[in-house]
Each structure stands twice: as C-alpha cells, then as structure tokens.
A and B are shown apart, each in its own frame.
Chain A
Amino acid sequence: METRGRLGIPSDGAIDPITLVESKGCLVWTPQDVPELDICHIRQLTISDPDSWDAVTIKEGNCTVIVINNTRPAARQSNTIMHEWAHLELKHKPSRVDQFENGLLLLSDYPKEFEDEADWLSGAMLAPREGLLSLRRRGMDDAQIAETFRISSQLATWRIRMTGIDRQFSRRY
C-alpha cells in the first residue's frame, strides 16, 4: 500500500506496472527491442513457441532490463511485469545462466518458492485486499473487478478467493 500511496494510486484503482518498474529505473523491452537479436530467435520466441515463456529480467551492473513476451494478452503482460518487479523487490537471488558454445542455455535453478512469493506479492500489488473489498461493496462482480484493476479475470477470482473477502462480506452484510 505504501508503494501505491507513493504513486498516488488508490487501493481500488489500477496500477500501471510499466510506470512502476520504470520509476525504479528498469527498462521494459520486447524481443523486437533487443539490439542485434537474430530474427530467427525472435521468430522462435514470438511465433514458433510463444507459450513457453513470459518474461526475462536481466541485471547487469546498475541496469535492469525486463524483456516481456508481447504476444501475451495485455492483462497477463501486466501481471508478469509486476511478478518480475516482485522478484526485484523481494531481493530474490537471480538464477545464473550458463550458455554453452552451441548456444544452449541452462539456468542454475528455478526455485518454485521464489515464483510463488513473487506471484503473491504481484497479485497483492495489482489487486490489494482493501481495494477488492471496496469494489465488492459497490456490487461489482469478478469480471468488473478485473476490468477496474486491468487484470485478468482469473487473477481477480484468485485474489478474491485468497483474501477471503467474500466470506468477510457475507458475515457483515
């Protein structure tokens, strides 16, 4: 809520993840923005196999670049950028990338607990409990809440379930 407050965004308003990460000095690129990336790799990542990945965050020195899979729906891209921001905010140790002479990439590891933590924080940033409660009180259904926060309906439903606001709401009203 502090971060939302700093950005002047109320708890029931949509947050723009790109503005947030750019305010932290990160750059957001698409694969097409990456200088000197061979067209065959862009094609592999955006046409042949776009469903295998969502984003990569690369930190080099003081600069951080998030490359987002821009073939995904806008709401999913927002969630992914916020997820990457969460990794940075939570100071998760990044995975080391070993690339071999044949170009093959292997990550040192892919800790599920880091992914789960980042999912939780990004969801809380995009759709905070207080905001969910406020929108529910105004009679909004899951789809309307998703639209208000500019998130996917799946994420809205997940956040509503996880925060238990419907149970709280039904007890009080």
Chain B
Amino acid sequence: MSLQIQELGARVVKHRGVNGVRAAAAEIGVSPATLSRVENGHVPDLATFAKICEWLGEDPAVFLGLEASGAVRPPPTVHMRKKNTTSVDTATALGAMIVAVQNAIIAREEL
C-alpha cells in the first residue's frame, strides 16, 4: 500500500491516540515542537522521519510511495539553513533548486 508523505501527520495523530504530543515525542525521541509540526503536515529531516516510521511500525517507503529516484549520479550533499521542518511544497521546491544547481555545476564543468 502506498501513502503520501502528507498522510504521515494524520497517522501520527491516530497512533498516539489519547497520549499527548509530549509523551509521543519522548517515546519517538524527537522534540514536541517537531512532532507537532509533522502532525500539521510539515516534512521532517530523514533521521526524524525514520524514527517516526519506526514508532509507527511502518516502512518509510510506504509514505514515499516509491524508492529514492534511481539516478546514476550520487545524491547531492548540502548545508542548509532552514526551519527544522517545512511544508511539502517548500521541501519539493528546495529539492528542485538543489538538483538544478547540481545540474548547472556539472554543465559548467563539462564546458
């Protein structure tokens, strides 16, 4: 079954049931603020995402719906100054920008 990353928050809310955000966050090992943002549909970093998936007992691939893109090129590495979580649209736009920069650098080097 494939779900969307946007559904992660709803699954967290359902899974914690009557427990508060603080208690669930402590169980997962993330900050309550981060968990609250995830519940509101924001995208966490991969380490937080993995912890939440483990707590949910779900395979991360279920939320991503697919494997990481099978590009031949190694994934880019970055430093990023941003909020700890972002909306799906912003995470997608940042991803597109990083790939566009990577492509531009490679194109320059091939000149």
Count of A-B contacts with CB under 8 A? 177
* A107, B76: Cβ atoms closer than 8 Å: no
A172: shortest Cβ distance to chain B, in Å? Answer: 37
Interface string of A17-54 (1 = CB under 8 A from B): 00000000000010100111110111011001101111
Complex: how many Å from CA A105 to CA B44?
Answer: 10
Number of chain B residues whose Cβ lies closer than 8 Å to a Cβ of chain A: 47
B interface SS class: helix
B109: shortest Cβ distance to chain A, in Å? Answer: 6
Apart from A49-B90, A106-B43, A108-B45, 20 more pairs, CB < 8 Å: A31-B97, A34-B100, A37-B100, A44-B92, A44-B93, A53-B86, A60-B76, A60-B109, A63-B108, A63-B109, A65-B104, A94-B78, A98-B68, A104-B92, A105-B94, A106-B91, A107-B46, A107-B78, A109-B45, A118-B79
Footprint of A on B, CB under 8 Å?
Answer: 5, 43-47, 49, 64-69, 75-84, 86-109
